[in-house]
């Protein structure tokens, strides 16, 4: 492995270690009760070093989902149409119980989602993440107003479907009892998207 590749792996490992340390502390004591200085101390790095990796405290949590930021843009070109590619990807995620779909009952996943959606500062920061996802999907769809309108609808549908699944699982329902409803809801939502987006002038992503 090249020196550059090794350096990049070490950097990614540092991101993961610091983020995991922060999330553990936030889950134990609450997001607002833990200072950045305490996270830095627990991760055995200086506070300035932490801020070089994570410009804001909220980014310590959102790092865990950062890899999904451009997911919709990547997936959109993998099917006969962007909507069908995104539909298939979401349904496959439900089948795998991918945490991103909300259909996952692992205690750590449930705790992470409760932290994310139950902390106002994190919810506010999450909208920036969603906006970047929209921007990247809009670019993949060809750019322009119609592409932005389409991207906004796609990202909103994925978010709402996932939050509803998480809400039901967090309330104590079993995955086996939620899955059929989750699949049906996803099918309906993507049917509506397909009908709506067919009227918009969006590029061919293939």
Pairwise CA distance, residues 149 & 106, whole Å? 34
Across 5-12, average pLDDT: 80
Pairwise CA distance, residues 51 & 42, whole Å? 14
Element (H, E) at 42: helix 36-43
Element (H, E) at 36: helix 36-43
Model pLDDT for residues 36-73, shown as the tens digit of each residue: 999 999 999 999 999 999 999 999 999 999 888 999 99
**pTM of this prediction?**
0.87
State yes or no: pLDDT of 4 exceeds 70. Answer: no
């Amino acid at each position: 492995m090249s020196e550059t590749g090794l350096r990049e792996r070490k950097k990614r490992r540092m991101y993961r270690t610091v983020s995991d340390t922060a999330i553990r502390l936030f889950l134990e004591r609450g997001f607002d009760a833990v200072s950045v200085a305490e996270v830095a101390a627990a991760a055995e790095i200086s506070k300035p070093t932490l801020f070089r990796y994570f410009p804001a405290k909220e980014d310590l949590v959102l790092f865990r989902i950062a890899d999904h930021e451009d997911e919709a843009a990547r997936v959109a070109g993998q099917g006969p149409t962007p909507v069908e590619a995104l539909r298939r990807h979401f349904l496959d995620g439900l089948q795998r119980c991918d945490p991103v779909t909300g259909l996952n009952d692992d205690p750590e996943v449930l705790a992470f989602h409760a932290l994310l959606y139950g902390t106002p500062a994190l919810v506010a920061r999450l909208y920036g993440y969603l906006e970047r996802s929209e921007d990247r999907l809009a670019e993949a769809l060809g750019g322009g107003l119609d592409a932005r309108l389409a991207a906004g609808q796609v990202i909103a549908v994925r978010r709402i479907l996932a939050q509803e699944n998480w809400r039901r699982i967090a309330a104590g329902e079993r995955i086996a009892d939620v899955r059929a409803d989750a699949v049906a809801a996803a099918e309906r939502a993507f049917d509506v998207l397909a009908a709506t987006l067919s009227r918009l002038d969006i590029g061919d992503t293939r």
